[in-house]
């Protein structure tokens, strides 16, 4: 069951458009359409000669974007229900041209968090699912009920930066030996018990109240949706994706996302491919933080590619592989999902 959702407020809205500077006629990509809050403004800015390509894993968001953006004057609109990590391949194959402006507002939308059937939140009991789209692989319940103790502890520690990952993993293994863990409530209570709390009892930290289940839920969401893997692939392909003069804006919500973005932008700058428009991440001002609590953890980084795409790819053979427009993948492209370092391998319970 879903609760009534408050109106959608796109995060760091003014800052994104001040720094991304989309112009009439641009080819823009919104990697994470969500409720089309940013996309609508992108379309306004690029005008009737502009082109927009939008991605989202969630078919509902794609359907809503079709309605919201479909009636707006635009030269072309393409909406794809798949991961933004497919963009590199689309540019490589010449199906889409190099990109003038790209926005990625990472993570999940508030509407997804508020939909209890998705199991992203433990504020209400719901199925332990966490998939942002139907094509995403195993659910959180699948992982929790099949991974072994070491894999679970590794996942919770790595993606949740949770210090008590081991006892939590142990408690999960013990609980599921009695009955499978199927709901958000079951898992949240189990984690709270590891912290010596009663079901529903919050924990007090120096930063205020935090439910001890928060980090475990974040870890599972990241693992289920392969969030860091998709981001890494996009960052790796970015130098080939962007047109000369192209700008990239990325909004991240936790350090595991922000760190690779910061490192990628620094490396592009060190290689002389362009400049960091934001040396330090742009964060929400006091007013936005009050009006939209989700903005409190948002960090915006923007980079401008200034070099020719050829300069980003000194290897002529590589250029030829990517067709007449040229391309410049750096490094190998792991097409084999089994080679994915972030994907926890599913194991059968004995």
The footprint of ligand SAM (CB under 6 A) covers: 8, 10, 32, 34-38, 55-58, 61, 83-84, 105, 107-109, 132, 225, 230
Contact 38, 10 (CB under 8 A): yes
Sequential DSSP letters for 201-265: --EEETTEEE-TTHHHHHHHHHHHTTHHHHHHHHHHHHHHHEEEEEEEEEEESSHHHHHHHHHHH
What distance in Å separates the CA atoms of residue 11 and residue 285, rounded to the nearest whole number?
Answer: 11
Cβ 227 to ligand SAM shortest distance, Å = 6
Cβ 217 to ligand SAM shortest distance, Å = 16
Other Cβ atoms less than 10 A from the Cβ of 195: the count is 14
Nearer to ligand SAM, 138 or 212 (CB): 138
Cβ 251 to ligand SAM shortest distance, Å = 8
Nearer to ligand SAM, 184 or 252 (CB): 252
Nearer to ligand SAM, 91 or 313 (CB): 91
What distance in Å separates the CA atoms of residue 121 and residue 193, rounded to the nearest whole number?
Answer: 18
Contact 132, 58 (CB under 8 A): yes
What distance in Å separates the CA atoms of residue 222 and residue 344, rounded to the nearest whole number?
Answer: 11
Nearer to ligand SAM, 216 or 295 (CB): 295
Cβ 234 to ligand SAM shortest distance, Å = 8
3-state secondary structure of 313: coil
**Which residue has the CB atom at the shortest distance from ligand SAM?**
34
Nearer to ligand SAM, 193 or 214 (CB): 214
Nearer to ligand SAM, 35 or 96 (CB): 35
Cβ 256 to ligand SAM shortest distance, Å = 14
Sequence-ordered list of residues with C-beta below 8 angstroms from that of 276, at least 6 positions apart, any chain: 265, 266, 269, 301, 302, 303
Both tokens assigned to 2: 């879903």
Cβ 311 to ligand SAM shortest distance, Å = 29
Nearer to ligand SAM, 109 or 152 (CB): 109
Cβ 20 to ligand SAM shortest distance, Å = 12
What distance in Å separates the CA atoms of residue 53 and residue 75, rounded to the nearest whole number?
Answer: 11
């Amino acid at each position: 069951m879903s609760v009534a959702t408050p109106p959608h407020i796109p995060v760091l809205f003014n800052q994104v458009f001040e720094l991304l500077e989309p112009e009439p006629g641009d080819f823009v990509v919104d990697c994470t359409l969500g409720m089309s809050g940013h996309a609508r403004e992108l379309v306004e800015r690029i005008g009737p000669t502009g082109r927009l390509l939008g991605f989202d894993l969630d078919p509902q968001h794609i359907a809503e974007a079709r309605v919201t953006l479909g009636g707006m004057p635009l030269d072309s609109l393409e909406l794809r229900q798949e991961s933004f990590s497919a963009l590199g391949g689309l540019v490589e194959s010449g199906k889409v041209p190099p990109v003038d402006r790209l926005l990625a507002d990472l993570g999940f939308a508030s509407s997804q968090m508020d939909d209890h059937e998705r199991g992203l939140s433990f504020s209400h009991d719901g199925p332990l699912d966490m998939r942002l789209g139907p094509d995403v692989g195993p659910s959180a319940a699948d992982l929790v009920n099949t991974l072994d103790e070491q894999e679970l502890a590794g996942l919770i520690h790595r993606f949740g930066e949770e210090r008590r990952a081991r006892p939590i993993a142990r408690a999960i293994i013990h609980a599921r030996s009695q009955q499978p863990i199927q709901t958000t409530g079951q898992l949240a209570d189990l984690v709270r018990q590891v912290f010596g709390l009663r079901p529903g009892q919050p924990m007090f930290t120096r930063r205020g109240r935090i439910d001890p289940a928060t980090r475990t839920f974040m870890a599972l969401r990241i693992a289920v949706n392969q969030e860091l893997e998709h981001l890494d692939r996009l960052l790796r392909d970015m130098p080939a994706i962007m047109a000369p003069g192209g700008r990239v804006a990325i909004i991240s919500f936790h350090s595991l996302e922000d760190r690779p973005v910061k490192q990628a932008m620094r490396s592009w700058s060190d290689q002389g491919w362009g400049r960091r428009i934001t040396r330090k991440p742009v964060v929400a001002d006091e007013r936005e933080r009050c009006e939209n609590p989700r903005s409190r953890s948002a960090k915006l980084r923007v980079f401008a590619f200034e070099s020719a795409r050829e300069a980003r790819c000194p290897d002529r053979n590589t250029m030829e592989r990517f067709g007449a427009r040229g391309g410049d993948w750096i490094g190998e492209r792991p097409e084999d999902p089994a080679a994915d370092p972030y994907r926890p391998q599913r194991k059968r319970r004995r």
